[in-house]
A and B are shown apart, each in its own frame.
Chain A
Amino acid sequence: MSDPILILNGSALQRALTRIAHEIAERNDVSTDVVLVGVQRGGVYLARRLSQALNGIWGHPVPVGSLDVGMHRDDLDRQAAPKIHPTVIPFDITGKTLVLVDDVLFSGRTTRAALDALNDFGRPKRIQLAVLIDRGHRELPIKADFVGKNVPTSLTEQINVRLHEMAGEDVVYLEKK
């Protein structure tokens, strides 16, 4: 097995998030309409960091929710039941610009499940997708609006996103399975 390849170190990861925050601010004129929803678990921490960065740009808090897509997956009877975390969206998403945040965009099935799950919470005016890593291999017609880094991968590889909140360090590796 070959060694993991470093994709992003701590400062590069932070720069990528800062850039995404500026792109979100640039794209959305009405800042008070923007809410962030992170996909459990990595996406939740990224969404909180983006919220802080946007607070710095706009000068007001940006609400953050967390979404677990486990109950909406399309492969529930094909594998062991996934670990499920509570979904907490403590604000009304109807009429808002909802930025969905995830760590890795791969097949797109998680994003599809997230879009399904959000249906039960309201009708946002629009949904935008922000991801730290886009590794390709889409199986559904889904595209990210904001990407930290595009990483061409093979299907025998995997992306390992380690965030400070969970792993004690900010780093992204490309690994062989």
Chain B
Amino acid sequence: MSWDRKHLLDIESLTPEEIITVLDTARAFKAVGERAIKKVPALRGKTVINLFIEPSTRTRISFELAALRLTADVINFTAEASSLKKGETLRDTARNLEALNADIIIIRHSATGAPHFLSRFLNASVINAGDGAHEHPTQALLDAFTIREKAGRIEGLNVTILGDILYSRVARSNIWALTKLGAKVTLCGPSTLVPRIFEQMGCRVTYDVDGAVAGADIINLLRIQHERQRKTMFPSIGEYATLFGLNKARLAKTKPGVLIMHPGPINRGVEIDSEIADCDRSVILEQVTNGLAVRMAVLFLVNGGMGPQEIVG
């Protein structure tokens, strides 16, 4: 068994074996979601806190449901309704939550490294649900899970990530996860949003959209992160849709079995044609289902004690 981590802070520091452990564990939890009784007692009596300092619906709901299906108690904490508005620091907020005997704290924050910061002084397990433009580890794990389930493997596949890479934590976590598992990752989008420096992470950077999608086994589309961009990175949404959006003409040139992925929320008519989002190549909604299974697996794994594993008959 290759998991003895207390926290899940990023993909960068995980080994390929640890990633595979999460994916294997998630298979079992996906099966739980398909039963009549979709609940197991693995986290009975544990307290999970969703500390979301940045807006989110799908990730928060996914984590909340994951914790509930493991029989944990869950508290949701959002920035708007908190003492952070009254000037409390993140450190004090987190320590107050821990004083309530929280066992696992799931944090989303606009600052890179916020989860790592918490993990240095909290006794609770910390799970990163997205920190700035840095990482979104559970999204990368659910994407890898979906690819593995649909394509049967990850090693050797060509994965094209198309869109706003620069401001995307999803892109960074995906690049780490997929390259660790042996996929060939190509990044594509406007040159302002896909700087060459990403080549240092072991992937290919291209501005030839047709070429990038034609050779892909997987196309992962990313939304334009308007909220993180400090200035206009391309002339207009219309131009972006024309030059970089996945439309029918581009889809026609892709490999027959290509999978279309998107972490959501999708902007129909911008990065993806509405019809393509709903077509049979699209696994966007399956990603949501798999996200629940992967988050159950992550909660289950970080909850594990640190002692040596012993087989009890």
Check B28–A85 contact: CB distance below 8 A.
yes
Check A120–B37 contact: CB distance below 8 A.
yes
Check A80–B304 contact: CB distance below 8 A.
yes
- From residue 290 to 313 of chain B, which have CB atoms closer than 8 A to chain A? 300-301, 303-313
Q: Which residues of A contact B24 (CB under 8 A)?
A: 83-84
Q: Which residues of A contact B281 (CB under 8 A)?
A: none
Q: Mark B114-146, 1 if CB is under 8 A from A, else 0.
A: 000000000000000000000000000000000
Please, how many angstroms separate the alpha-carbon atoms of A127 and B35 in the complex? Answer: 21
Most buried by A among B4, B40, B313: B313
Check A79–B32 contact: CB distance below 8 A.
no
Residue in A73, A81, A102 whose beta carbon sits within 8 Å of that of B3 in the complex:
A81
Q: Which residues of B contact A85 (CB under 8 A)?
A: 27-28
In the complex, whether A146 has a CB less than 8 A from a CB of chain B is no
Q: Which residues of B contact A102 (CB under 8 A)?
A: 313
Give the interface residue-count category, chain B: 35 or more
Query: Of all chain B residues, which has the CB nearest A119?
Result: B37
Q: Report the minimum CB–CB distance from A154 to chain B (whole Å).
A: 14
Check A80–B27 contact: CB distance below 8 A.
no
Q: With A68-B28, A71-B32, A82-B1 as given contacts, are A106 and B313 in contact (CB-CB < 8 Å)?
A: yes
Q: Mark B85-115, 1 if CB is under 8 A from A, else 0.
A: 0000000000000000000000000000000
Check B307–A79 contact: CB distance below 8 A.
yes
Main secondary structure of the interface of B (DSSP, over half): loop
In the complex, whether A135 has a CB less than 8 A from a CB of chain B is yes
Chain A residues within 8 Å of chain B by Cβ, number:
33
Query: Of all chain B residues, which has the CB nearest A158?
Result: B311
In the complex, whether B257 has a CB less than 8 A from a CB of chain A is no
Q: Report the minimum CB–CB distance from B7 to chain A (whole Å).
A: 14
Q: Which residues of B contact A107 (CB under 8 A)?
A: 312-313
Q: Which residues of B contact A68 (CB under 8 A)?
A: 28
Check B40–A71 contact: CB distance below 8 A.
yes
Q: With A71-B32, A79-B308, A80-B306 as given contacts, are A120 and B39 in contact (CB-CB < 8 Å)?
A: yes
Check A76–B304 contact: CB distance below 8 A.
yes
Check A78–B305 contact: CB distance below 8 A.
yes
Check A80–B39 contact: CB distance below 8 A.
no
Q: Which residues of A contact B21 (CB under 8 A)?
A: 83
Check A79–B41 contact: CB distance below 8 A.
no
Q: Mark A111-126, 1 if CB is under 8 A from B, else 0.
A: 0000011001100000
Q: Report the minimum CB–CB distance from B121 to chain A (whole Å).
A: 21
Query: Of all chain A residues, which has the CB nearest B70?
Result: A71
Query: Of all chain A residues, which has the CB nearest B310?
Result: A79
In the complex, whether B25 has a CB less than 8 A from a CB of chain A is yes
Please, how many angstroms separate the alpha-carbon atoms of A98 and B313 in the complex? Answer: 20
Check B312–A81 contact: CB distance below 8 A.
no
- 30 residue pairs A–B, Cβ–Cβ below 8 Å: A71-B28, A71-B32, A71-B40, A72-B40, A72-B42, A73-B312, A76-B42, A76-B300, A76-B304, A79-B304, A79-B307, A79-B308, A79-B309, A79-B310, A80-B304, A80-B305, A81-B1, A81-B300, A83-B25, A85-B27, A85-B28, A86-B31, A87-B28, A102-B313, A105-B313, A106-B313, A120-B37, A120-B39, A121-B35, A135-B313
Which 9 pairs across A and B sit closest by C-beta, in order of nearness? A106-B313, A81-B304, A71-B40, A120-B37, A104-B313, A84-B28, A71-B42, A86-B31, A79-B307
